[in-house]
Amino acid sequence: MSSALALASVTALLKSLLENGLASAGITAKLGGDAAVSALPPDRVTSGADEKAQLNVYLYHITPHIGMRADAALPSPGQNGRRPLSLELHYLLTAYGSQDYQTEILLGHALQLLHESPVLERERIRSSLNALSHTRDRRVIPAPQASLAQSPLADQVDKITITPEFLSTEEISKLWSALQAKYRPSATYKVSAVFIDGDGPPPPTAKGR
């Protein structure tokens, strides 16, 4: 199994959490129509005249997990002797809508859902990834989504935490400028800790001359 799938696994978990939560909240009746959840770069989300009611969750930044740098806090080294990378993932959560109040309704529900689920435990991670990568009705699953079946995320961590981050007006302005997308109401979150392990083959030894 490849821990390189850890980033995609976390994004898929957040997307699934939002999709299931909106469905349970009866969001269609509140909006007067369907709402989608995507995981796209914001500049690829349709906005303007053709804008749909939608939430978008986007991994925009990755930082080291400072608190996990101590050897005792990290998983054991892989067979190549390297310690895993310990990471924190930073997400931009954005609401879209073409009608009055749709963006506020969507963003409000999203904030509530993530506030109610600040921690995803190992069994929930495992069951969610299994549900995302398999289907009971022979429906064809896109290859990137099907690959999540190989993710070892649930075996690497006991839990992941979802924490809101509150950016200043200047920081959010710089972020949206860098994304080259039209600004929409948004919130930012930090997910930790995620590991990219060093379980590949050991590096070749240098040969003497």
pLDDT by residue for the chain (209 residues), tens digit each? 568 999 999 999 999 999 999 999 999 999 999 999 999 999 999 998 889 999 999 999 999 998 765 544 455 555 556 778 899 999 999 999 999 999 999 999 999 999 999 999 999 999 999 999 887 767 788 999 999 999 999 998 899 999 999 999 999 999 999 999 999 999 999 999 899 886 554 444 444 33
Amino acid residing at 136: R
What is the predicted pLDDT for the residue at 167? 96
- Single pTM value for the model: 0.88
Q: Residues with Cβ < 8 Å from 30, sequence gap 6 or more?
A: 105
* Confidence (pLDDT) at 140: 86
Residues 6+ apart with CB under 8 A from 169: none
pLDDT for the residue numbered 199? 58
d(CA 163, CA 145): 25
Nearest Cα neighbor of 93 from 129, 128, 58, 121 is 58
- Two tokens at 109? 């529900």
Given a contact cutoff of 8 angstroms between Cβ atoms, the answer to whether 17 and 131 are in contact is: no
What is the C-alpha to C-alpha distance for residues 83 and 80, in angstroms, rounded to an integer? Answer: 9
The amino acid at 52:
K
